[in-house]
Structure 1
Amino acid sequence: MRILAIDTSTHVMGIALAEDDKLLAEYTTNFKKNHSLRLMPAINQMLTELEIDPNQLDAIAVAKGPGSYTGVRIGVTTAKSMAWSLGIPVYGISSLQMLARNGRNFQGLICPFMDARRDRIYTGLYTFDGTYLKTEEKDQIILLEDWLSIVKEKEKPVLFLSQEWNKHKGMIHDILGDQVRTGDFSMNQPHPESLLALAYEQEQAQPAHSIVPEYAQMAEAEKKWLASKEGRGYE
């Protein structure tokens, strides 16, 4: 079974391809540049080098969010369009779950997070049972201080994984103290091969049309439109 993985939910743009339990290729960049212009050329180049025709793909795994509104939309739209045209299913994987998998050898709570501005984060809480990731707190957007209060009550060591770690480490250490554990730069970066591993763990993929982005909140434009329809100002 050949699965193509796509992730554009953050500044990282990552693609990978696996056949059964073998990783054939992985390509990742980590800088702020237009994913929409680079994603399909990168996929085409990878498939060409592997001498694999798109029609030989069996499924696509995509990071469906939360994350950058534009980035999530690009990845999900590309995955759905390719899958629909090829007649293959899609595995929609949480972007936070993908990042959490970097901490699968940690014996404790795993907390991936992404900055969501205005002192908020996208986050969830996971544990690893030796075989699979288990969700302890579902993915959500929440004020960082409120989230840390929830985590503190768990009274367990917590591995924090995030490319925005340095931005928020002060408050995290102040509130959680010796509960805090951190990863290195590689663990803090999402890897598309994790999408493949998580896809193989799922029992069943979904039809392309049923996959939807998970933004965890409305986009700014949607909020403004809704506020105008309700006849009130936007804050």
Structure 2
Amino acid sequence: MKLLALDTSGPVAGVAILRDGQVAYEGAAVNAMTHSVSLLPMVEEALTRSGLTIEDIDLYAAVTGPGSFTGVRIGVSMVKGMAHGAGKPCVGIDALQALAAGVSGKDALICPIQDARAGQVYGAAFRAGMPPRRALENQAQELSLFVNACLAVAETHESLCFVGDGVSRYRAALEEMLGERADFPPAHLAYLRPASVAMLAQVYAQQAGDYLTLQPQYLRAPQAERARARKAGDA
């Protein structure tokens, strides 16, 4: 099986191609361009360097959230377009589970966190494995509330391994709250890898559907919708 996976849920856009269970290509980019501009050239490069064409792909995958509302929409829309055009199935992958998959051999409760802004994080908790086994559902919470939720499902004295872009912002606070129980992997393992998205897509291939089934999964309404709701409530 040949599989193409995209991640646009954060500031780094990523593309990976899996061929017969092996990573044939993985690339990521951070630049001043928006994902809508940079993503198509990245896909074209991935296919070229893998010696494939778009018609060769058997399954498409996109991260469906949580993450940047605009970014997630871009990746999901592109995968839907490619899957529709090729008449091939597609599957959505959870960003937090993909983060956990990057450290799936860790002997700790794996707690992915993304900066959700507005004083919150997107977070969940997983046990090691492929796929990582969910211990705590996705949530948008203040950091202290999320940490308490993780502690409630952790074993006594178990370390909590934090990964994701929320670590750079909240590491000091996590260390203050948890002391030696707070664990942080090396920087190159702390961020979402498109290869992890592709590996999970292979695991969930039997759940794939046509392009109409692929939808963003948001944990809260976009900022514009929240602002409109507040304005309507004040009226």
Give the shorter-chain TM-score range.
over 0.9
Residue 223 (1) aligns with residue 226 (2): yes
The answer to whether the aligner puts 1:195 opposite 2:194 as a matched pair is no
Map 1:131-142; keep pairs closer than 5 Å: 131-142=130-141
Instruction: Please say if residues 11 and 33 of structure 1, whose CA atoms lie closer than 8 Å, have aligned partners that are also in contact.
Output: no
Note the alpha carbon deviations across 1:43-78, whole angstroms, 9 max, x for none.
112213333221111110111110011111100010
Match of 1:52 in 2: 52
Report the Cα distance in structure 1 between the residues aligned to 2:33 and 2:174, rounded to whole angstroms. Answer: 30
Q: Could you list the runs of 5+ residues in structure 2 that have no partner in the other structure?
A: none
Partner of 1:19: 19
- TM normalised by structure 2 equals 0.92
| Paired residue type of 1:136 | A
Q: Quick check: 1:214 aligned with 2:217?
A: yes
Query: Which residue of structure 2 aligns with residue 37 of structure 1?
Result: 37
Alignment of 1:121-200 (within 5 A): 121-129=121-129, 131-153=130-152, 154=154, 155=156, 156-200=158-202
Q: Conserved in 1, the CA contact under 8 Å of 2:63 and 2:76? A: yes
Change (3 A) 1:101 1:53: same
Partner of 1:67: 67
SS of equivalent to 2:183: strand
1:187–1:32 Cα change, 3 Å: farther
Greater shift in the superposed pair: 165-174 or 114-123: 165-174
| Structure 1, 87-96 or 203-212: larger mean CA deviation | 203-212
Deviation at 1:119, TM superposition (A): 2.0
Q: Which amino acid aligns with 2:123?
A: T
Query: 1:70-81 maps to which residues of 2 (within 5 A)?
Result: 70-81=70-81
TM-score normalized by the length of structure 1: 0.92
Say whether 1:113 aligns with 2:116.
Answer: no
Bigger shift: 137-146 or 197-206? 197-206
Tell me the distance in 1 between the aligned counterparts of 2:140 and 2:87: 34
How far, CA to CA, are the matches of 1:50 and 1:105 in structure 2? 28
Give the match's secondary structure for 2:127.
strand
Partner SS, residue 40 of structure 2: helix
CA distance in 1, matches of 2:172, 2:56: 49
User: Does the residue aligned with 1:103 lie in a helix, a strand or coil?
Assistant: coil
Quote the residue 1:232 is aligned against: 233
Once the two structures are TM-superposed, the CA of residue 31 in structure 1 deviates from its matched residue by 4.3
Percent identical residues: 28
Equivalent position to 1:205, from 203, 208, 212: 208
Question: Which shifted more, 65-74 or 202-211?
Answer: 202-211
Q: Which stretch shows the higher mean deviation, 136-145 or 173-182?
A: 173-182
**Distance across 2 between alignment mates of 1:126 and 1:190:** 15
Over 3 Å counting, the alpha-carbon distance change for 1:123 and 1:31 in structure 2 is farther
Distance apart, 1:132 and its partner CA: 3.2
Residue by residue over 1:143-183, the C-alpha shift from the partner in whole angstroms, topping out at 9 and shown as x without a partner, is 11111122233332110012231321222112222211111
Unaligned runs of 5+ in 1: none
Contact preservation (8 Å) 1:11, 1:32? no
Equivalent position SS for 1:209: helix
3-state SS, counterpart of residue 216 of structure 2: coil
Residue by residue over 1:92-116, the C-alpha shift from the partner in whole angstroms, topping out at 9 and shown as x without a partner, is 0001111111111111200111011
